[in-house]
Amino acid sequence: MKFSVFQVSRKGGREKNEDRMGYCYTRESGLFVLADGMGGHPEGEVAAQLALQTISALYQKEARPVVKDVTGFLSSSLLAAHHQIIRYASEKGMLDTPRTTLVAAILQGDGATWVHCGDSRLYVVRDGELLTRTRDHSYLEQQNAGVIKLERLNRNILFTCLGSPSKPVFDITGPVVLQQGDKLLLCSDGLWGTLTDNEIVRHLSGNSVSDAVPDMVEHALRNGGEHCDNVTVLAMEWETPDAFESTRGVSTDSIMDGVFASTIQAGGIDLPVEDLDDAAIERSIAEINEAIRRSAAKKA
């Protein structure tokens, strides 16, 4: 498996950067993940960090060297990350929970499968054209898709995220078969909020990700001005030919079985991997579902 990858995160005009991103890989599989801690709630950066740590820890346990059930893994690991955020808030005695969006993709074999919750996006660009992108879990995107009609409600409001009292709503897409030179881009709303889809595609087309991403981020920061949101981007190019590989090109062919590489750091948050076995995940999901059931029963 070969790919070129580049990642960057800029604070913009905010007091702190609540975005987190990173990637992990084995000999035959790769995980790319990005989270955007939500403002208006406490410790958004903690929620984003917990989401990355939880999913990467579970991936490290599961990818031996591939994830057998990718769709099942993405679903269960997202819910486990949600539960870790809820547990963190409970242990800290917080009145409000930290919250974050999330987008994560697994590449293995010849395909990519991804999950997203909220408005952090994934773009797939092929031959200079936008092949597909995720649709935000916002009222605006739902209206554009013809699902609902809105009048006065703030259409940019998200109706789901990780860390909220209700069970997260998420979408899983794939597997999408990748072709030579396909580019996948994961980003926070700091990027797509100031650049159009066409501009993002144009930046990626005809340039290596190591050249395209920094230029794209600089354009987003300039467009966003002094109050620009955090801008975070993680992009990769699939099966890049040797003639076009950047110095950041990654080949997993030399990795031994059982070896795991990661750019995701602990970030000062204690998250024991042993707390995340299959039984713990099932308990987490069962607890979340039971809490939702009790809440629904009270409302009824």
Where do we find the tokens 């950066």?
A: 45
Q: Who has greater pLDDT, 155 or 6?
A: 6
Residues 6+ apart with CB under 8 A from 123: 130, 132, 133, 183, 184, 185, 187, 197, 200, 201, 204
pLDDT at 219: 95
Q: Reply yes or no on whether the pLDDT at 259 is more than 70.
A: no
User: pLDDT-based confidence at 273, cuts 50/70/90?
Assistant: very low
pLDDT at 280: 52
Least confident of 65-79, 96-110, 183-197, 253-267: 253-267
CB contact at 8 A, 128 and 145: no
* Segment 191-233, tens digit of pLDDT: 999 999 999 999 999 889 999 999 999 999 999 988 899 999 9
Estimate to the nearest angstrom the gap between the alpha carbon of 149 and the chain centroid. Answer: 28
The β-bridge partners of 235 are: 6, 185
Please count the other Cβ atoms lying within 10 Å of the Cβ belonging to residue 148.
Answer: 11
* Segment 14-60, tens digit of pLDDT: 888 999 999 999 999 999 999 999 988 988 999 999 999 999 999 99
User: pLDDT-based confidence at 243, cuts 50/70/90?
Assistant: very low
Distances in whole angstroms, Cα of residue 36 to Cα of each of 163, 170, 270, 274? 12, 15, 20, 26
Q: Reply yes or no on whether the pLDDT at 296 is more than 70.
A: no
CB contact at 8 A, 124 and 182: yes
Mean pLDDT score across all residues of the chain:
84
Q: Reply yes or no on whether the pLDDT at 252 is more than 80.
A: no
pLDDT at 255: 72
Q: Who has greater pLDDT, 147 or 84?
A: 84
Nearest 5°: the CA angle 145, 168, 272 is 140
* Segment 92-148, tens digit of pLDDT: 999 999 999 999 999 999 999 999 999 999 999 999 999 999 999 987 776 655 554
pLDDT at 8: 94
